[in-house]
Amino acid sequence: MWCTGLRKRYGKRTAVDGVSLEVGRGEVVGLLGPNGAGKTTVIKMLLGLVRPDAGEVMLLGRPATEPAARARVGYLPELFRYQPWLSATEVLELHVRLSGTDMPAEERRDALALVGLADRAGDRVGGFSKGMQQRLGLAVALVARPECVVLDEPTSALDPLGRVDVRDIVLSLKARGIAVLLNSHLIGEVERVCDRVVILDRGRVAASGSLLELLGQHEVRLRLTGVPPAAESRLATAGPVHREGEWFTVALPVDDAATVPDLVADLAALGVRVHAVEPGRISLEERLLGILRDGSEERP
d(CA 126, CA 142): 21
Tell me, yes or no, whether 200 lies in a domain. Answer: yes
Q: What is the mean pLDDT of residues 264-270?
A: 93
Q: What is the mean pLDDT of residues 33-49?
A: 90
> Of 173, 193, 212, which residue sits at a domain end?
212
Would you state the pLDDT for residue 256? Answer: 59
Tell me, yes or no, whether 235 lies in a domain. Answer: yes
Tell me, yes or no, whether 107 lies in a domain. Answer: yes
Compute the half-sphere exposure of residue 144: CA atoms within 13 Å on the CB side of its CA: 22
Same domain? For 143 and 265 the reply is: no
Same domain? For 53 and 201 the reply is: yes
Residue 20 has pLDDT above 60, yes or no: yes
Same domain? For 17 and 132 the reply is: yes
d(CA 276, CA 249): 12
Same domain? For 93 and 188 the reply is: yes
Residue 289 has pLDDT above 50, yes or no: yes
d(CA 242, CA 13): 41
Residue 280 has pLDDT above 80, yes or no: no
Would you state the pLDDT for residue 79? Answer: 81
d(CA 196, CA 22): 10
62 bridge partner residues: 59
Phi, psi of 153 (to 5 degrees): 55, 60
Rg (CA), the chain: 24
Per the CB < 8 A criterion, the answer to whether 200 and 37 are in contact is yes
The CATH number assigned to the domain holding 90 equals: 3.40.50.300
Tell me, yes or no, whether 66 lies in a domain. Answer: yes
Tell me, yes or no, whether 298 lies in a domain. Answer: no
Tell me the residue type at 247.
Answer: W
Listed range (108-117, 141-150, 273-282) with the worst mean pLDDT: 273-282
Whole-model pTM? 0.76
pLDDT category of residue 283 using cuts at 50, 70 and 90 = low
Kindly tell me the number of DSSP H helices and DSSP E strands found in the chain: 10, 14
Would you state the pLDDT for residue 217? Answer: 62
The CATH number assigned to the domain holding 228 equals: 3.30.70
* Strand, coil or helix: 93: helix
Nearest to 33 by CA among 222, 215, 291: 291
Same domain? For 149 and 265 the reply is: no
Same domain? For 262 and 157 the reply is: no
d(CA 11, CA 42): 17
pLDDT category of residue 85 using cuts at 50, 70 and 90 = very high
Same domain? For 159 and 271 the reply is: no
Q: What is the mean pLDDT of residues 40-56?
A: 92
- Looking at per-residue pLDDT, the higher value among 285 and 64 belongs to 64
Nearest to 216 by CA among 236, 185, 240, 235: 240
pLDDT category of residue 145 using cuts at 50, 70 and 90 = confident
Same domain? For 272 and 162 the reply is: no
Tell me, yes or no, whether 286 lies in a domain. Answer: no
Residue 299 has pLDDT above 50, yes or no: no
Task: Round the average pLDDT of the chain to a whole number and report it.
Answer: 86
Number of compact structural domains in the chain: 2
Q: Which domain range does residue 80 map to?
A: 2-212
Would you state the pLDDT for residue 240? Answer: 86
Tell me, yes or no, whether 124 lies in a domain. Answer: yes
Q: What is the mean pLDDT of residues 169-185?
A: 90
Tell me, yes or no, whether 295 lies in a domain. Answer: no
> Of 159, 185, 212, which residue sits at a domain end?
212
Share of the chain above pLDDT 90, in %: 42
